[in-house]
Amino acid sequence: MPRYARGYDTAEAEAWLSRRDRKLGTWIRRLGPIQADVRWRKSFDPVDALARAILYQQLSGKAAATIVGRVEAAIDSTRLHFDTLARVDDATLRACGVSGNKALALRDLAARESRGEVPDLRRMSTLDADTIVAALVPIRGIGRWTVEMMLMFRLGRPDVLPVDDLGIRKGAQLLDRADAMPTPRELAARGAHWGPFRTHAGLYLWRIADSTAKAPAPVKRSQE
């Protein structure tokens, strides 16, 4: 069974993209290299990461961290899983500041984990990106964007392009000096020849948008 490495050679990616797309190559030279993400080499717990992603949705980092801290205290664990979340009822979660929808999402995640439907890190190493997306997006509160961020920044998959992300679409508009942002379908077609390094192209599109608009990247603009 094939295994997928975590991470890729960023210098190789930049050289490839520069050859494939002259416009992008100009921006790569202007912005400079993007180093490998240190998180690619660090182990992490997918279920816990997804639970925290649910809790952080639509909140500032500070507010979400406060709620996460309350939940951890309530379950007496820093590990958010079906067995630890089962220690508290929904009323306790609400008292921690967890909305009703997020509580339902956590319960769905926990139930799916208990049934073996959420692949662990070892299992993910044998699955391609599309299969991981298909396995995780049925979880309540987990959209494609959330999974794509895990694929890019935690698993280090080299060929992921989040075409629904407004920051990436804005970067593509600036790259091509277009009058409007490309639609997700148009961006998917535009980025097809960036493979097998569409992840790295996306990182540069965020930087292009950031360098122009002075906005942090990546930022999720749409709701899941």
Secondary structure (3-state) at 167:
helix
**What pLDDT is recorded for position 222?**
46
The whole-number average pLDDT for the span 47-53 is 97
Q: How confident is the model at residue 69 (pLDDT cuts 50, 70, 90)?
A: very high
Q: Please write the tens of the pLDDT for every residue from 98-117.
A: 999 999 999 999 999 999 99
CB 49 within 8 A of CB 150: yes
Over 90: is that where the pLDDT of 68 sits?
A: yes
**What pLDDT is recorded for position 156?**
97
Closest CA to 147 of 109, 184, 179: 109
Q: Please write the tens of the pLDDT for every residue from 72-104.
A: 999 999 999 999 999 999 999 999 999 999 999
The DSSP-derived string for 118-153 is: S--HHHHTTS-HHHHHHHHTTSTT--HHHHHHHHHH
Residue 24 CA neighbour count, 13 Å, CB half: 26
Measured in Å, how far apart are the chain's first and last C-alpha atoms?
Answer: 33
**What pLDDT is recorded for position 2?**
78
Please state the pTM of the whole predicted model. Answer: 0.88
Contacts within 8 Å (CB) and 24+ apart, 98-101 = 98/55, 98/67, 98/71, 101/141
Over 90: is that where the pLDDT of 65 sits?
A: yes
Q: Please write the tens of the pLDDT for every residue from 162-185.
A: 999 999 999 999 999 999 999 999
**What pLDDT is recorded for position 1?**
65
Compute the distance between CA of residue 105 and CA of residue 99 in angstroms, rounded to an integer: 10
Secondary structure (3-state) at 59:
coil
Q: Please write the tens of the pLDDT for every residue from 194-211.
A: 999 999 999 999 999 998
